[in-house]
């Protein structure tokens, strides 16, 4: 798979899964962007970024962050006596 295809797949994953996150977890995505000093566009209805201009390694970091959160949220915990 080419790097461009991998990036577009990651962007699709981010766009699909981000609405499933709670506000605190979405703020974590913004912290990743701030850490890398990327431009965040603020609007009256929220913040936006253009994922097409974000370097591939940062897109991959955001995708992994979301994946890890969703995996953690889907764990089933069993309580034994």
Domain ranges (residues) in the chain: 3-73
* SS3 readout for the chain: CCHHHHHHHHHHHHHHHHHHCCHHHHHHHHHHHHHCCCCCEEECCEEECCHHHCCHHHHHHHHHHHHHHHHHHCCCCCCCC
Predicted model pTM: 0.79
How many whole angstroms separate alpha carbon 16 and alpha carbon 76?
A: 23
**Average pLDDT for the chain:** 86
Task: Name which of 76, 75, 74, 62 is nearest 25 in CA terms.
Answer: 62
Per-residue pLDDT of 24-37, as tens digits, reads 999 999 999 999 99
pLDDT band at 48 (very low <50, low <70, confident <90, very high): confident
């Amino acid at each position: 798979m080419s790097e461009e295809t991998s990036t577009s797949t990651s962007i699709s994953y981010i766009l699909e899964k981000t609405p499933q996150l709670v506000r605190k977890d979405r703020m974590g995505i913004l912290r990743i962007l701030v850490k890398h000093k990327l431009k965040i566009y603020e609007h009256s209805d929220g913040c936006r970024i253009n994922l097409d201009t974000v370097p591939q390694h940062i897109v991959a970091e955001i995708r992994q962050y979301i994946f890890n959160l969703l995996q953690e949220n889907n764990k089933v915990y069993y309580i034994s006596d």
